[in-house]
Structure 1
Amino acid sequence: MIIIKNTFKFKLSKIAVVLLGGLWLSACSEPKTVSTSNDTPLDNVATSTLKNVDSLPHYLQRNIQDEVFYFVMPDRFNNSDMTNDQGSKTDPISAGGFDKTDKGMYHGGDIQGLQAKLPYIKKMGVSAIWLTPIMRNQAIQGDSSGYHGYWILDFNEIDPHLGSNEDLKRFIDAAHKENIKVFFDIITNHTADVIKYVECHGEDGLQYLMKENDGCLYKSLAQVAAGDAYQPIIPKGQESLKSPAWLNDKKYYHNQGDTTYEGENSIYGDFSGLDDIDTDSPEVVRGMIDIFKNVISEFKPDGFRIDTVKHVNMAFWAEFAPALVNHAQEVGIPEFFMFGEVYSGDSEELSSFTTEGKMQSVLDFSMQFALQDTLIKQQGTDKLVELFERDHYYNDSDSNANQLLNFTGNHDMGRFAGMLKDSDLNYSEAAIIQRTLLAHAMVYFLRGVPIVYYGDEQGFVGDGGDKGARQDMMPSLVDSYNDDDLLANTKTTADDNFDENHLFYKTFAKYADVYYQYPALRFGEQKTLYAQDTPGVFAISRTLKDSDTMVVVFNTAKTAQPIELDLALSGAQKVYPASKSDEVNPNTLSVPALSFAIYKIK
């Protein structure tokens, strides 16, 4: 590992020389041009000619490290059945909340709409679709709706705004016929807000007596042990809203007031009133395992993303996660896979859930933060070295850092393009485009499994996190969405945004094409070849036994980076981008600004 301060000229290891010299045939003094495997400019290659999920093993036998994920919020994607826009026709608690002009309400997207767009998703090179929660929600809480899916009442049926259980099964069958996996987003930490506290909401549970505190103040374990506890109450007529029935019993909840997301209350407190499940209870552990065993048996998903993992006690995960994987394997899903949301940039904390907690993987927030450091804050590429030097924390008998899930942004923190737009560095649109594409390239080609957040492939930007990053792909009526200047085209979110000719869509399809062609880019052991403490070059190798070694070099600087070579070797073939040859003068190479290249070394 070499880190050079205040200079862009450096000497590299043997493998890096092969990378940066390209197809250097001999130690000659004349300038050489690196040959490419394809002289056709990549921008002119039709996405239909690129490798996609059809090139991969059958979905039932496919390893998680083969996947390219597409993370989608069904309500904001595509509306194929307008008859379900208002939700349930028989159950008022899950009805209503539809208002396409309000970013906090249902917008009409549904499972049938998602199924209709499977060709669009597949052509982009996606092999796995991750859905935000789809089980039946409480339609309205406060001034917002359950369009996002995180206010679950019934774990046995799909939310009627999205369709029926049979619609979901048809969608999964259709995806599987295209060799595409389907992952559900699940929740064990909480249910919808039904339980109230007499001290906060009155004897009937229908008042709000603590407005000055903006919630029911958390009561600690010590307070509860000393007898200072809230008196939980379920308002009249709401005693049987949840399913399965045991979830209606107040004794299966912590009932300690609202969390501040710090200390013990991050485990035992309610999220803005959402009923926090007592996952310390052996009965609850068994009950939650049974709930999701039934989900697996009925719908046959290929895996779960698990919400709010760090807000549930570790012992729960150590029992829950293996039980569900074992059950899935018993019912014929041998590669069933689960990854958790642990909102932390600390690799040691993240890895504790894959080792001690026995979860197969987690979303790699630490990598997302490193992408912010290097591509938004313009810190050195040594920030990536710091990240990858901590990968050993993930090593155990059944997992490693190659199985982490990489992403640039999401429905909570916002889009990477939006973070660039909001930066104090006042990036131009051209710079935002370059940096967003480079961030996605790192997600695809650094260790881990890539995720694309829906809309990123159409240049969506957004006004921040949460509701601000949950735009409609179908034509939107939300003013704060439609005033966005989308990247790399002239559209807004008021238009239909399923453009297969969009620069980002086509680029992600090409990333997937390369990703699928070379197993070392999915399974290879990663080694850092070069980094620096200023913006500039970050180079890695990916090595897999009995396979080609791949080398990827990124340049995060705003200018081309001259590289000094110390010897000439042969055997490197540039595989991306194939349209631009490297002009190599004796012992030097210029790496273009905010770009990357991939080389195959025999």
Structure 2
Amino acid sequence: MSFNRSLTIVVLSCTLLALLGCQQDSTVKIQQDKTHLKTTATDLLPYQTRPIEDEVFYFVLPDRFSNGDTSNDNGAKDLPISFGGYDPSNEMAFHGGDLAGLTNKLPYLEQLGITSIWLTPILRNQAVQGDISGYHGYWVLDFTEIDPHLGSNDALKTLIDEAHKRNIKIFFDIITNHTADVIKYKECHGEDGAGWSESGEACPYISLAELEQGKSYQTVIQKGNEHLKTPAWLNNPKHYHNQGDSTFTGENSLNGDFFGLDDLNTESPAVVGGMIDIYKNIITTFKPDGFRIDTVKHVNIEFWQQFIPTLEQHAKAQGIENFFMFGEVYSGDPVELSKFTTEGTLPSVLDFGLQSVLYQTLVENKPTALFNELFAQDRLYKDANQLLNFTGNHDMGRFAYLLSKQNKYTQQEITQRLKLATAITYFVRGIPVIYYGDEQGFIGTGDNHNARQDMMPSEVAHHNKQKLLASTASTAQNNFDINHPLYQFFSTLSSIYHQHAALRKAKQTVLFTSDETGILALRKQDNTNDYVIVFNTATQEKTVPLPLTGTYQVVFKSAQQSIRAEGEKLHVSLPGLSFAIYHAKK
């Protein structure tokens, strides 16, 4: 248990003062709660000048969101490699969502308090690899145009223009590690290259030492597929490692194919220059507000040292002053994560470390002291306030699913734990990311494909059998209900986040953690404001004594609390799985 006695904390409503018997000469003073009005992106600084710390992200797979144009459901007939794969009853196929549908739903996202939309990759994919489709966007063939299942280049420009009119930013998910699986190995995939690693015909990884000894795979490209990729240099096998499939450990984490996806030789100056040119052109053509970068730790760090500053300079030259990039480094270790923000020059990364602690404290019921251990390592990052916070995603599964598979929580308790985990992503240091559908009570039946349900009416039978949280609906319905309790809760969190700059940007200090489930108390201070945020991860009420000076006001409370002032200490009692925010002006 840790507790900093030199710091002070917060308060409850003055209507409780008489009931609680607080003394008039106490150094703690209490004022009435504030009422928060809804705040949306239109109430904030213009997107062109708004700092990244002011964002609330929404992470969405366009194919699974809303179908605004049914004519593109199967892709492009004149491009057979990017045609087909549409089967809305199959969780591994295209379902018809597109950029037009996303554009139509901008009002829904605006009212949720979203200020930035992060799209999974939208460039033209190989439509089908084995028995799976490229609905997710990570199998890129053409780095110059939009996948026809999602629309056209003009449809993307329309989305960006309409989002910008609402003061909402658009972030692209980009890939430099690999391209679609076109290059095959005769030893694994047959003389004609017809096999697929992802369908069970994997190729054992050939190590660098084995390469030096002369061992290698013989590459083969199926007849007719020799010129599928754009730009043309991507079709030459010499630009790839060609060492077989990764097991995601050791050197093969850098050099191996991801389930057969062609792994680029990013150590090569030609590849570095080629990928820089690709994304400079993307910035010039579409002018997005930033990039989320896929599979960062699977690319050599020297690549990032050239790629990141060059693209930052190019974006500024294009008039995008606040262009921002953050990477996916799939690791819960802050030492590994932070290396890519310092040595690797990325502005930020997704905070898998925080996600791991959320899992441990709210799914596995481990001590809140884990938060103290995590935040003690914030100094390792370039700027911990710019980390991207999230509860779950399209790979690991939704946080509600991670809770549900424990088989010990009721739906009501899963809802409470999801709400508390989400609140933590908003109010600890860093930037909140909502995974699409969480605000409608989506749970999911697994990770990967089964964490990627449709917001539009679904035809996936086993998805539709699952009742959603805090609702009588299922994924069989259209799930854009602005009155859903979780939508309303997330919207409230966004409004509070937008209305209190110090909650977003001020220095964070840990006031209290426990060696068991229970209280996490944080303080955020700048020159004019003093905030205290208290979370209770236990199911039973917990009380924490916090020394106080000044006049405090309740900003928000997720459940009714009780307080007791004794001299210069305030004893704050929070019900299980609840939180509260308090504010004092200096």
The answer to whether the superposition gives a TM-score over 0.5 is yes
Under TM normalisation by the shorter chain, which class is it? over 0.9
Match of 1:54, SS? helix
Which is further off, 188-197 or 51-60? 51-60
Per the TM alignment, residue 490 of structure 1 is displaced from its structure 2 partner at its CA by 0.2
TM-score normalised over the length of structure 1: 0.92
The one of 527, 531, 540 equivalent to 1:550 is: 531
Distance 1:374 1:80 in 2: 40
Match of 1:377, SS? coil
Supply the AA of the counterpart residue of 2:103. Answer: Q
The one of 220, 239, 248 equivalent to 1:252 is: 239
Distance 1:185 1:502 in 2: 28
> Hey, what does 2:502 align to over in structure 1?
520
Distance 1:449 1:421 in 2: 26
Distance 1:487 1:123 in 2: 20
> Hey, what does 1:357 align to over in structure 2?
344
> Hey, what does 2:388 align to over in structure 1?
405
The 8 Å contact of residues 540 and 552 in structure 1, kept in 2 or not, is answered as yes
Per the TM alignment, residue 206 of structure 1 is displaced from its structure 2 partner at its CA by 2.4
> Hey, what does 1:337 align to over in structure 2?
324
Distance 1:476 1:517 in 2: 36
> Hey, what does 2:404 align to over in structure 1?
421
The 8 Å contact of residues 202 and 209 in structure 1, kept in 2 or not, is answered as no
The 8 Å contact of residues 21 and 584 in structure 1, kept in 2 or not, is answered as no
Supply the AA of the counterpart residue of 1:533. Answer: D
> Hey, what does 2:2 align to over in structure 1?
3
Alignment deviations for residues 204-226 of structure 1 (CA, whole Å, 9 cap, x no partner):
22257999x84111111111122
The 5-angstrom pairing of residues 187-336 of structure 1 reads 187-207=175-195, 214-336=201-323
The 8 Å contact of residues 37 and 578 in structure 1, kept in 2 or not, is answered as no
5+ residue gaps in structure 1? 5-11, 43-48
Distance 1:209 1:371 in 2: 34
Distance 2:298 2:139 in 1: 16
The 5-angstrom pairing of residues 585-596 of structure 1 reads 586=566, 588-596=571-579
Per the TM alignment, residue 548 of structure 1 is displaced from its structure 2 partner at its CA by 1.2
Supply the AA of the counterpart residue of 1:37. Answer: D
Match of 2:355, SS? helix
Supply the AA of the counterpart residue of 1:166. Answer: D
Distance 1:174 1:281 in 2: 39
Structure-2 change in CA distance of 1:383 and 1:581 (3 Å): closer
Distance 1:280 1:432 in 2: 45
> Hey, what does 1:129 align to over in structure 2?
117
The one of 10, 19, 22 equivalent to 1:19 is: 10
Structure-2 change in CA distance of 1:430 and 1:507 (3 Å): same
> Hey, what does 2:443 align to over in structure 1?
461
Alignment deviations for residues 263-313 of structure 1 (CA, whole Å, 9 cap, x no partner):
100100001111000100000000000000000000000000000111110
Alignment deviations for residues 368-396 of structure 1 (CA, whole Å, 9 cap, x no partner):
000001111101100100110011110xx
Distance 1:564 1:288 in 2: 55
The one of 551, 576, 581 equivalent to 1:598 is: 581
Distance 2:29 2:543 in 1: 16
> Hey, what does 1:7 align to over in structure 2?
none
The 8 Å contact of residues 22 and 572 in structure 1, kept in 2 or not, is answered as no
Per the TM alignment, residue 601 of structure 1 is displaced from its structure 2 partner at its CA by 1.3
> Hey, what does 1:179 align to over in structure 2?
167
Distance 1:66 1:161 in 2: 32
2:523 matched to 1:541?
Answer: yes
Per the TM alignment, residue 34 of structure 1 is displaced from its structure 2 partner at its CA by 4.9
The one of 153, 157, 176 equivalent to 2:141 is: 153
> Hey, what does 1:500 align to over in structure 2?
482
> Hey, what does 1:65 align to over in structure 2?
53
Match of 1:440, SS? helix
Match of 2:497, SS? helix
Per the TM alignment, residue 200 of structure 1 is displaced from its structure 2 partner at its CA by 1.7
> Hey, what does 1:573 align to over in structure 2?
553
The 5-angstrom pairing of residues 421-440 of structure 1 reads 421-423=404-406, 426-440=408-422
Alignment deviations for residues 139-186 of structure 1 (CA, whole Å, 9 cap, x no partner):
000111000000000000000000000000011000001000000000
Alignment deviations for residues 553-583 of structure 1 (CA, whole Å, 9 cap, x no partner):
0011111113345x66441111103885745
Per the TM alignment, residue 324 of structure 1 is displaced from its structure 2 partner at its CA by 0.6
Match of 2:10, SS? helix
Per the TM alignment, residue 13 of structure 1 is displaced from its structure 2 partner at its CA by 2.9
Supply the AA of the counterpart residue of 2:512. Answer: Y
- What is the aligned-residue identity percentage? 52
Distance 2:32 2:294 in 1: 44
Per the TM alignment, residue 33 of structure 1 is displaced from its structure 2 partner at its CA by 10
Distance 1:216 1:56 in 2: 52
Distance 1:33 1:289 in 2: 57
The one of 132, 136, 157 equivalent to 1:144 is: 132
Alignment deviations for residues 229-252 of structure 1 (CA, whole Å, 9 cap, x no partner):
111111111010000000001100
The 8 Å contact of residues 378 and 384 in structure 2, kept in 1 or not, is answered as yes
Supply the AA of the counterpart residue of 2:553. Answer: Q
Structure-2 change in CA distance of 1:207 and 1:102 (3 Å): closer
The 8 Å contact of residues 21 and 568 in structure 1, kept in 2 or not, is answered as no
Per the TM alignment, residue 521 of structure 1 is displaced from its structure 2 partner at its CA by 0.8
The 8 Å contact of residues 92 and 133 in structure 2, kept in 1 or not, is answered as yes
The 8 Å contact of residues 78 and 474 in structure 1, kept in 2 or not, is answered as yes
Distance 2:426 2:195 in 1: 50
Per the TM alignment, residue 343 of structure 1 is displaced from its structure 2 partner at its CA by 0.4
Distance 1:521 1:569 in 2: 20
Structure-2 change in CA distance of 1:140 and 1:181 (3 Å): same
Supply the AA of the counterpart residue of 2:294. Answer: D
Supply the AA of the counterpart residue of 1:3. Answer: S
Match of 1:199, SS? helix
Supply the AA of the counterpart residue of 2:69. Answer: D
Match of 1:59, SS? coil
TM-score normalised over the length of structure 2: 0.95
Distance 1:368 1:554 in 2: 16
Per the TM alignment, residue 27 of structure 1 is displaced from its structure 2 partner at its CA by 3.6
Per the TM alignment, residue 36 of structure 1 is displaced from its structure 2 partner at its CA by 2.7
Distance 2:372 2:228 in 1: 50
Structure-2 change in CA distance of 1:409 and 1:221 (3 Å): same
> Hey, what does 1:8 align to over in structure 2?
none
Distance 2:384 2:64 in 1: 32
Per the TM alignment, residue 585 of structure 1 is displaced from its structure 2 partner at its CA by 6.2
Supply the AA of the counterpart residue of 1:55. Answer: D
> Hey, what does 2:104 align to over in structure 1?
116
Which is further off, 51-60 or 569-578? 569-578
Supply the AA of the counterpart residue of 2:236. Answer: D
> Hey, what does 1:51 align to over in structure 2?
39
The one of 80, 101, 112 equivalent to 2:68 is: 80
Distance 2:463 2:305 in 1: 41
Distance 1:113 1:264 in 2: 41
The one of 410, 422, 427 equivalent to 1:445 is: 427
